Amino acid sequence: MLVASNNTAVGNSTRLAERSTGDAQPVPGEVTPILDVRNLSISFRGRDGVTHVTHNVSFTVAPGERVGVVGESGCGKSVTGLSLLRLLPERTAIIDGEIRFDGRDLMSMRPKEIRAIRGRDISMIFQEPMTALDPVFTVGQQLIETLRAHYPVSQAEAREQAVQALKDVGIPSPETRVDEYPHQFSGGMRQRVMIAMALICKPKLIIADEPTTALDVTVQAQIIDLLTELSENTGTALLFITHDLGVVAETCSRMITMYAGEVVESSPVDDALRRPGHPYTSGLLRSLPRLSDRGSRLPFIPGRVPSPHALPEGCSFQDRCPHSGDGCERYQAVVEIDPTRHARCHKAKELNLEGAV
Ligand SMILES: Nc1ncnc2c1ncn2[C@@H]1O[C@H](COP(=O)(O)OP(=O)(O)OP(=O)(O)O)[C@@H](O)[C@H]1O
Ligand SMILES: [Mg+2]
């Protein structure tokens, strides 16, 4: 669900001040979300001043729900994911807004409290598992350490659970492989180890940032099936950041589209694919290769995502949008198309946009 509220954005430019008004509220009667992000604005301090990279990002994830986050490179998907666990560089990142996890306010937590949540209640899977795995320890040692950092279990019990975790993610001969080092695993198997690490403490939420991009297509499909199956079996919610709309279609029940640091649409996946609410989502979908169109030229979205330094006034997508016109130069509030579909476009209700299927 895309939500927005009335808090003031970080910074004081006209653009950001405009964004502080008049957006939709969460629908009453919904399940309490496990993750509730409101008006998350992220900026970085640099030599040339402060750059605002996300603006009032608001969304929720329900317990056990799988939500896909899509958008072109540089739209702010990763910074949003990293900020949830306060993993952005402390010296330069300025984070403003509200992040509630399981009813608790993550923004006001002390580093010690955040560390207790990281890995236990929320874990993260990155694109390149070698950045998260330590080459000098066996995978078993790392799984055991992760578990024992959060739960008072004996070494023997932790080892047993580590073997079980490797088994759960489909690693053959887990009893022997538990004593091997990360470099002894293939890329796909290493990503399985990462998933085992992410799941060993039975978190309520996994944030997966492009977890399969570095893998070949067959292995990608296996890892995606595995993540979906584990999330279904354990009731773990999944925030799945990806470029690949096909993956979202297979894995998730809801899709959030980000553009130039904003959430521009949130819809159930079936709706997002068939009748997207925002012209940008429609553009992304129409750029997908279709079997029937093989050989023909793929439509693509002209132009590029504007740099955070050169955002137009009003709708950030207007320069690339085939439907732009009067009203697009103004700040775009979130429009409720129906209670489950929201888009940041003043024409969202009248446009009959083309989807992928
Ligand atoms: N540590 C940082 N310091 C300064 N700017 C940053 C930092 N990390 C990200 N950015 C900027 O924030 C913006 C959003 O980046 P982000 O990595 O979130 O994009 P993304 O949507 O994940 O893209 P991709 O699909 O390529 O992974 C970009 O303009 C990027 O240059
Ligand atoms: Mg990224």
Domains defined for the chain, CATH in brackets: 63-86+114-121+201-343 (3.40.50.300)
- Confidence grade of residue 290 (pLDDT, cut at 50, 70, 90): low
> Percent of the chain having pLDDT more than 90?
69
Better-predicted residue by pLDDT, 30 or 111? 111
Per cent of the chain over pLDDT 70 is 88
Global pTM value: 0.89
Distance 160 CA to ligand 2 centre (A): 35
Q: Is 71 in the pocket of ligand 1 (CB under 6 A)?
A: yes
The residue whose CA is least distant from atom 30 of ligand 1 is 74
What average pLDDT does the segment 278-305 reach?
A: 76
**44 touches ligand 1 (CB under 6 Å):** yes
The protein residue whose alpha carbon is closest to atom 18 in ligand 1 is 76
C-beta separation of 41 from 58 below 8 A: no
Per residue in 53-101, pLDDT (tens digit) is 999 999 999 999 999 999 999 999 999 999 999 999 999 999 999 999 9
Q: What is the pLDDT of residues 138-174, one digit of tens each?
A: 999 999 999 999 999 999 999 999 999 999 888 999 9
The predicted structure's pLDDT at residue 357: 58
Q: Which of the two residues, 21 and 294, has the higher pLDDT score? A: 294
Cβ of residue 37 lying under 6 Å from some atom of ligand 1: no
Query: Tell me, what's the pLDDT at 292?
Result: 45
Q: For position 242, what pLDDT does the model report?
A: 92
What pLDDT is stored for residue 30 in this prediction?
63
Q: Which ligand is nearest to the CA of 243?
A: 1
pLDDT tens digit sequence for 308-340: 988 999 999 999 999 999 999 999 999 999 999
Assess whether the C-beta atom of 77 lies below 6 angstroms from ligand 1: yes
Q: Which ligand sits closest to the CA of 88? A: 1
Residue nearest to atom 6 of ligand 1 (CA): 44
pLDDT at 183 over 80: yes
Q: How far is the CA of 224 from the centre of ligand 1 (A)?
A: 24
Distance 346 CA to ligand 2 centre (A): 28
pLDDT tens per residue, range 109-140: 999 999 999 989 999 998 776 777 899 999 99
